[in-house]
Structure 1
Amino acid sequence: MNHCQPAILEAPVPLQARHLFFSLGSPGELRAALDRLVPLIDGRSLVVGLGQPLVQVLGCSVSGLRAFPCFGGALVDVPSTQHALWCWLRGADRGELLHLSRRLEAALFPALTLDHMVEVFRHKEGRDLTGYEDGTENPVGDAAIEAALVTEGGAGDVGGSFAVIQRWVHDLNYFESLPATDQDDIFGRRKSDNEELDEAPASAHVKRTAQESFEPEAFMVRRSMPWVEGERAGLMFLCFGRSFAAFEVQMRRMAGVDDGIVDALYRFSRPVSGEYYWCPPLRDGVLDLSALQIC
């Protein structure tokens, strides 16, 4: 699939990255700002996602795009903090990411203003700060394309993807106070060898989110990375899908909507944000916004 923003399917995650979240400023300047944004996007060092607030202000629509929902019936908090635009900056040099961030801010102002930024990083070979491997059983090859990308539709649709972002805050002091067996039961895997537990509790994360256990199967491509700010730390959950359906059925089950069983991750972690974005495809290496029909 040569139309997607390449980082969506690239593995492993980068050594360093930044998530930038922009709010609407001067809507009348928005089209000019998008014109300045397009040349900056290569889909590899810089991935962009458009939120429903931005698309609505333009008077446009994107099939399948909506704001992060309220998960009715959830037994735990699943907050929605939708922004207008999201940028995922990727690399190995924090200084270069800083300079790219500044260029983006300048290009988008005053139509869009930076609300906040989260720096993330790769831990070991791709682990959560708890030490457990992240992204286990991610689909690869054709299966990843099928899970993450829109493969049917018109110009400006094929190669697009839908991104979900949640910032999770960990209570690492509590987690590290637990016996190793309790930690393994939370994830449903052994930290030592990443093997799934035969007798994992019903609340284990692997039981709540087993992609093949849904009908239809709920596969998505995850690109999550840890974050640290002062004494606070956790995981910036990021996944890509051909729609939001796979994430939503998994999140509903994690939140206890389906059967009253809450994912054991909530014993030591909680989401403090939730956002949905449409990641446009590329055409001849250039961001393709033709689906918006604004040109």
Structure 2
Amino acid sequence: MNQMQAGILAPVPENARFISFQLADSISLETTLRAVQAHADGERAVVGIGLTVVEALGQHIPGLTAGPRIDGSLVDIPCQPIALWLWLRGPSRGELLHQERHWVDMLTPCFTRMQSIESFCYDNGRDLTGYEDGTENPEGEEAIAVASVTAPAADALVGSSYLAVQQWLHDFKTFDAMTDAEQDNTFGRHRISNEEFDEAPESAHVKRTEQEAPTPEAHVLRRSMPWSAGNRAGLVFTAFGHSLEAFEVLLTRMSGAHDGIIDGLFAFTKPVNGAYVWCPGMRNGQLDLRALGL
């Protein structure tokens, strides 16, 4: 039976790299994907396939689009499609550097590296603002049900996941200028205790992303990690699901397209890119690429 890539369910690592690629040579695409299939273990390297690759192979992954397009959004939600996505996970920056070198060599010339984001675990899973990330994440069997495709879908899709990934850039000067109360109200939680307010403002992040509020409920599995490059820093937001519908419901609420109320986070942070990819399941120790005709 197909299983999810193990890295999706595992706790976030101490260090990671999020790497995105563009398709450069479709002639060698099938051969290169065969190499990816054999090399990826789904744990140290989680792999995602973008719409560009799916279309180049003449295939169709139900519900997969290039990236977020929120009609009526009151804020800018960038969409930067990618062809191939890697989440390299490891204990040290040096090990990840060598992993990335190996992957880039293997993927050339079929794919060209578009972006590499160095990320890390901060304060036991908190965002760089000091607030805990992914507080309401599902666990165990619930996490599998939320984050992966299950029967009665086509066999080649079982165990796979849909991923929404966005890089958010924080404006720490603006955030630091807020009072403690203003910061807490932005999130709808106390930073120290992580306790949610009984009556948070309607713009609070917990209200905008309340997964039980929509009908049907909009649950996702978050595996976000902080990133930094020089004096720029923020959060690489990742949301895995059995489809992209739940994420789009939440982003619609955050962006103000639902009721005109914008998530308070936009006062100090913003997404600078965003894309959707499909993460195949594992079958007999390898990525299951049957849905791509491989």
TM-score bin, normalised by smaller chain:
over 0.9
Task: Judge conservation of contact 2:23–2:83 (CA < 8 Å) in 1.
Answer: yes
Query: Does 2:234 correspond to 1:234?
Result: yes
Aligned to 2:220: 220
- How do 1:14-53 and structure 2 match up within 5 A? 14-53=13-52
Gaps of 5+ in 2: none
Structure 2: which amino acid aligns with 1:21? S
Structure 1: which amino acid aligns with 2:193? D
Q: Hey, what's the Cα distance between the residues in 1 that align with 2:27 and 2:60?
A: 18
Number of aligned residues? 293
Aligned to 1:164: 164
Q: Hey, what's the Cα distance between the residues in 2 that align with 1:231 and 1:184?
A: 24
Q: Hey, what's the Cα distance between the residues in 2 that align with 1:183 and 1:37?
A: 43
Q: Hey, what's the Cα distance between the residues in 2 that align with 1:201 and 1:276?
A: 30
Aligned to 1:137: 136
Aligned to 1:179: 179
Aligned to 1:5: 5
Query: Does 2:244 correspond to 1:244?
Result: yes
Aligned to 2:113: 114
Aligned to 1:65: 64
Which secondary structure state, in structure 2, belongs to the residue aligned with residue 97 of structure 1? Answer: helix
Q: Hey, what's the Cα distance between the residues in 2 that align with 1:214 and 1:83?
A: 29
Structure 2: which amino acid aligns with 1:184? D
Structure 1: which amino acid aligns with 2:267? R
User: How far does residue 199 in structure 1 lie from its aligned partner after superposition?
Assistant: 2.2
Aligned to 2:205: 205
Structure 1: which amino acid aligns with 2:138? P
Please tell me the root mean square deviation across aligned C-alpha atoms, in Å: 1.0
User: How far does residue 35 in structure 1 lie from its aligned partner after superposition?
Assistant: 1.4
Structure 2: which amino acid aligns with 1:20? I
Q: Hey, what's the Cα distance between the residues in 1 that align with 2:155 and 2:86?
A: 23
Q: Deviations over 1:50-93 (max 9, x none)?
A: 00011101111112211113211100000100110100000111
User: How far does residue 2 in structure 1 lie from its aligned partner after superposition?
Assistant: 5.9
Gaps of 5+ in 1: none
Which secondary structure state, in structure 2, belongs to the residue aligned with residue 20 of structure 1? Answer: strand
Aligned to 1:127: 126
Structure 1: which amino acid aligns with 2:163? A
Q: Deviations over 1:66-125 (max 9, x none)?
A: 111321110000010011010000011111111111111111111111111001000010
Task: Judge conservation of contact 2:188–2:197 (CA < 8 Å) in 1.
Answer: yes
Structure 1: which amino acid aligns with 2:263? D
Q: Hey, what's the Cα distance between the residues in 2 that align with 1:183 and 1:225?
A: 20
Query: Does 2:277 correspond to 1:270?
Result: no
Instruction: Compare 130-139 and 99-108 and name the one that shifted more.
Output: 99-108
User: How far does residue 155 in structure 1 lie from its aligned partner after superposition?
Assistant: 2.6
Q: Would you identify which runs of 4 or more consecutive aligned residues in structure 1 move more than 4 Å?
A: none
Structure 2: which amino acid aligns with 1:40? H
Q: Hey, what's the Cα distance between the residues in 2 that align with 1:40 and 1:172?
A: 39
Which secondary structure state, in structure 1, belongs to the residue aligned with residue 174 of structure 2? Answer: helix
Which secondary structure state, in structure 1, belongs to the residue aligned with residue 262 of structure 2? Answer: coil
Which secondary structure state, in structure 2, belongs to the residue aligned with residue 47 of structure 1? Answer: strand
After TM superposition, the score normalised by the length of structure 2 is 0.98
Structure 1: which amino acid aligns with 2:285? G
Which secondary structure state, in structure 1, belongs to the residue aligned with residue 144 of structure 2? Answer: helix
Which secondary structure state, in structure 1, belongs to the residue aligned with residue 261 of structure 2? Answer: coil
Percent identity for Structure 1 against Structure 2: 49
Structure 2: which amino acid aligns with 1:131? G
Instruction: Compare 91-100 and 219-228 and name the one that shifted more.
Output: 91-100
